[in-house]
């Protein structure tokens, strides 16, 4: 199993080639059609990308300089609850301090009466984002930060950087050619790819990164697609690039998601522009109506003249995932495995999770592969299901009254697994015991940020009830322990407040940090 063939380029293909070539002494070949452009819309990553780039061997400063990168610290949701101007909350990347030891969610309910925003009570990052600051100082080493962060990036430039690095540094063989067909062994494994000009390309493991076409997994192996449009309604998007009003305009520290009558608009700040788009359901909105909604948003953002000069790109997609992801000696990575709307930027994260499991369990032989593929399919079916639940959570908790939002709250559209969790969370805050995998896609802290950011009702359980007692001699052992935890949680919250002041005083703006990194490139040149 030392001859790996990646089919398809783009972010998924070149990440796959680079990750496996960097971690294993194997031959890696990437085949991509010269006529098929990658979708290139996903411009947000999770903090996990820092580790991925380190594994591949790409310098962070080079990455920032060449891929129009800015630093992302989470997501800001506007108008998702009731649609008013003051309707906003953060899902930051920082986990609440002492998470799992002290229950800051319990303390928040008790100490603030839910009047302070939960993300502001439990995290320094909401304040950092509000101030437009970077998650690190100028002198902070590459890939380190005082606050957790991922990236906003230009997907096309990112793929080009990966391509150059993979070919020039990691020795990946690149073939630009059309795949015309597949030859197989008697056991159904792929033996080779038939190409238009490059002959047969042999391999022992084939990675399908051909996007929605899913050339190998779907077209060759006929693996069915499990549509999720009965749960997640969005299936269309309009995407545009909006320039800044000035060269020194600050860069947003979070992805901004603003709810609309039939979907939501994303706003991602890069170095020289904003990536803006409207994702919606064609059952509730026509493309013309969506275009009008998007243009109105851009007018408010950049002015009517600027909006009139911008042309949008229409994107069609079906929300769902494959019934299997690894069949015989072929495994799908990226959109060939599945795709949902870009909420919470899970698409690139799923690529990283797939590559981590493939790499850490790279088959030694054909018998080993059968075991790994079974485990891979089970694990990633679970992960796709959890993404469905987490994305749907945002819609279920909304109190907007347009038809789109009302339909999203109908019980028939809510997975049973999510309904069960919502019932549980009426009585207790989300915790690590609610989610059973050792590497969840979204940890319980993320559910807390969304639940309490959207005003999910107060829970009443014994820990809350017991906090009214202040004298250890008058309470039971259980009540005493609950009170002690509350006292400690209050101290942690006070530390968060003190830390905010330190960070707000010491951190540079996003724009200033990025300008410094770009100046390093100019000084070298």
Instruction: Tell which wins on pLDDT, 417 or 439.
Output: 417
Does the pLDDT at position 267 exceed 90?
A: yes
Q: Please state, in angstroms and rounded to a whole number, the distance separating the CA atoms of residues 522 and 65.
A: 10
Q: What is the pLDDT confidence band of residue 410, given thresholds at 50, 70 and 90?
A: very high
- What angle do the packed helices 346-360 and 10-23 form, to 10 degrees? 30
Per-residue pLDDT at 465: 40
Per-residue pLDDT at 78: 98
Does the pLDDT at position 101 exceed 80?
A: no
Give the list of residues 6+ apart from residue 262 with CB closer than 8 angstroms, or none.
280, 281, 284, 285, 289, 290, 293, 402, 403, 404
103-125: average pLDDT:
85
Q: Which CATH architecture has domain 3-69+151-225+319-384?
A: 3-Layer(bba) Sandwich (3.50)
Per-residue pLDDT at 176: 97
Instruction: Tell which wins on pLDDT, 385 or 497.
Output: 385
- What angle do the packed helices 155-168 and 10-23 form, to 10 degrees? 30
For residue 44, the 8-state DSSP code is B
133-158: average pLDDT:
96
Is 38 in a helix, a strand, or coil? coil
Does the pLDDT at position 99 exceed 50?
A: yes
- What angle do the packed helices 48-56 and 10-23 form, to 10 degrees? 60
Q: Please state, in angstroms and rounded to a whole number, the distance separating the CA atoms of residues 267 and 79.
A: 14
Q: What is the pLDDT confidence band of residue 103, given thresholds at 50, 70 and 90?
A: confident
Q: Please state, in angstroms and rounded to a whole number, the distance separating the CA atoms of residues 503 and 137.
A: 10
Per-residue pLDDT at 6: 98
**Quick one: which of 60, 62, 41 has its CA closest to 51?**
60
Per-residue pLDDT at 433: 83
Token pair for 97: 């301090």
Q: Please state, in angstroms and rounded to a whole number, the distance separating the CA atoms of residues 2 and 24.
A: 9
Per-residue pLDDT at 43: 87
Cα within 13 Å of Cα(156), Cβ side: 7
Mean pLDDT of all residues in the chain?
91
Per-residue pLDDT at 461: 43
160-178: average pLDDT:
98
Does the pLDDT at position 468 exceed 60?
A: no
Does the pLDDT at position 398 exceed 50?
A: yes
Token pair for 404: 């789109």
Let me know: does 1 contact 369? Beta carbons within 8 Å.
yes
Q: 10 Å Cβ neighbour count for 341?
A: 22
Instruction: Tell which wins on pLDDT, 414 or 116.
Output: 414
Q: Which residues pair with 151 in a beta bridge?
A: 71
Please provide the DSSP assignment of 482-516 as one string: HHHHHHHHHHHHHHHHHHHHHHHHHPPBHHHHHHH
Dihedral sign for Cα 407, 286, 393, 131, please: negative
Give percent of the chain with pLDDT exceeding 70.
93
Q: Please state, in angstroms and rounded to a whole number, the distance separating the CA atoms of residues 387 and 337.
A: 13
Please provide the DSSP assignment of 135-157 as one string: SS-TTSPTT--SS--EEE--HHH
Q: Please state, in angstroms and rounded to a whole number, the distance separating the CA atoms of residues 512 and 144.
A: 17
Give percent of the chain with pLDDT exceeding 90.
78
Q: Please state, in angstroms and rounded to a whole number, the distance separating the CA atoms of residues 40 and 385.
A: 24
Residue with tokens 């000696």: 329
Q: Please state, in angstroms and rounded to a whole number, the distance separating the CA atoms of residues 515 and 65.
A: 10
69-85: average pLDDT:
97
Radius of gyration of the chain (CA): 24
Dihedral sign for Cα 175, 176, 180, 181, please: positive
Per-residue pLDDT at 464: 44
Give the list of residues 6+ apart from residue 413 with CB closer than 8 angstroms, or none.
230, 231, 233, 392, 407
For residue 112, the 8-state DSSP code is I
Per-residue pLDDT at 474: 43
Q: 10 Å Cβ neighbour count for 367?
A: 8
- The model's pLDDT over 217-262, given as tens digits with 9 standing for 90+, comes to 999 999 999 999 999 999 999 999 999 989 899 999 999 999 999 9
Cα within 13 Å of Cα(96), Cβ side: 31
- The model's pLDDT over 428-463, given as tens digits with 9 standing for 90+, comes to 889 888 887 777 899 999 999 999 999 997 554 434
The pTM for the full model equals 0.92
Burial class (CB in 10 A: 0-12, 13-18, 19+), 24: middle
Does the pLDDT at position 280 exceed 90?
A: yes
268-277: average pLDDT:
96
Cα within 13 Å of Cα(151), Cβ side: 26
- The model's pLDDT over 324-335, given as tens digits with 9 standing for 90+, comes to 999 999 999 999
- The model's pLDDT over 26-43, given as tens digits with 9 standing for 90+, comes to 999 999 999 876 665 558
Per-residue pLDDT at 114: 75
- Please measure the distance between the N-terminal and C-terminal CA atoms of the chain and give it in whole angstroms: 43
Q: 10 Å Cβ neighbour count for 168?
A: 9
H/E stretch holding 416 reads helix 416-424
Q: What is the pLDDT confidence band of residue 523, given thresholds at 50, 70 and 90?
A: low
Does the pLDDT at position 404 exceed 50?
A: yes
- The model's pLDDT over 13-24, given as tens digits with 9 standing for 90+, comes to 999 999 999 999
- The model's pLDDT over 281-319, given as tens digits with 9 standing for 90+, comes to 999 999 999 999 999 999 999 888 888 889 999 999 999
For residue 448, the 8-state DSSP code is H
Q: Please state, in angstroms and rounded to a whole number, the distance separating the CA atoms of residues 262 and 279.
A: 9
- What angle do the packed helices 346-360 and 48-56 form, to 10 degrees? 50
Does the pLDDT at position 479 exceed 60?
A: no
Q: 10 Å Cβ neighbour count for 293?
A: 19
C-alpha distances in Å from residue 111, one per residue of 90, 388, 461, 490: 20, 33, 15, 8
């Amino acid at each position: 199993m030392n001859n790996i063939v990646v089919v398809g380029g783009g972010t998924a293909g070149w990440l796959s080639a680079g990750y496996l070539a960097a971690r294993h002494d194997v031959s890696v070949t990437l085949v991509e059609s010269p006529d098929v452009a990658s979708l290139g819309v996903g411009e947000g990553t999770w903090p996990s990308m820092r580790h991925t780039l380190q594994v591949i061997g790409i310098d962070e400063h080079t990455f920032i300089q060449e891929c129009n990168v800015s630093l992302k610290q989470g997501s800001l949701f506007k108008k998702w609850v009731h649609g008013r101007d003051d309707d906003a909350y953060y899902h930051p990347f920082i986990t609440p301090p002492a998470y799992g030891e002290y229950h800051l969610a319990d303390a928040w309910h008790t100490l603030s009466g839910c009047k302070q925003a939960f993300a502001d009570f439990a995290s320094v990052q909401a304040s950092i984002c509000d101030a437009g600051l970077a998650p690190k100082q100028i002198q902070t080493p590459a890939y380190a930060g005082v606050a957790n962060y991922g990236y906003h990036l230009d997907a096309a430039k990112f793929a080009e950087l990966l391509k150059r690095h993979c070919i020039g540094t990691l020795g990946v063989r690149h073939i630009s050619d059309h795949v015309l067909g597949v030859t197989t062994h008697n056991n159904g494994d792929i033996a080779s790819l038939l190409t238009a000009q490059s002959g047969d390309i042999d391999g022992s493991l084939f990675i399908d990164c051909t996007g929605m076409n899913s050339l190998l997994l779907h077209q060759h192996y006929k693996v069915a697609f499990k549509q999720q449009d009965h749960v997640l309604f969005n299936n269309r998007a309009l995407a545009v690039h909006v320039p800044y009003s000035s060269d020194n305009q600050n860069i947003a520290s979070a992805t901004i998601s603003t709810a609309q009558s039939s979907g939501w608009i994303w706003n991602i700040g890069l170095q020289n522009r904003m990536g803006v788009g409207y994702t919606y359901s064609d059952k509730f909105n026509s493309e013309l109506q969506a275009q009008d909604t998007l243009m109105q948003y851009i007018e408010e953002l950049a002015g009517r003249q600027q909006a009139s000069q911008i042309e949008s790109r229409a994107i069609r997609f079906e929300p769902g995932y494959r019934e299997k992801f690894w069949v015989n000696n072929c495994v799908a990575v990226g959109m060939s495995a599945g795709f949902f709307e870009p909420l919470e930027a899970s698409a690139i994260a799923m690529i990283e999770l797939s590559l981590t499991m493939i790499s850490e369990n790279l088959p030694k032989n054909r018998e080993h592969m059968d075991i790994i593929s079974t485990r891979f399919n089970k694990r990633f079916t679970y992960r796709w299901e959890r993404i469905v639940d987490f994305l749907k959570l945002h819609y279920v908790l909304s109190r907007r009254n347009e038809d789109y939002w009302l339909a999203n709250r109908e019980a028939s559209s809510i997975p049973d697994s999510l309904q069960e969790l919502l019932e549980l969370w009426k009585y207790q805050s989300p915790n690590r015991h609610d989610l059973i995998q050792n590497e969840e896609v979204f940890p319980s802290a993320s559910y807390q940020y969304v639940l309490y950011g959207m005003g999910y009702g107060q829970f009443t359980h014994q820990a809350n009830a017991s906090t009214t007692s202040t004298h250890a001699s008058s309470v039971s052992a259980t009540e005493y322990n609950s009170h002690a935890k509350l006292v400690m949680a209050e101290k942690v919250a006070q530390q968060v407040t003190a830390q905010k002041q330190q960070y707000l005083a010491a951190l540079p703006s996003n724009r200033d940090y990025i300008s410094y990194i770009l100046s390093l490139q100019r000084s070298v040149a």
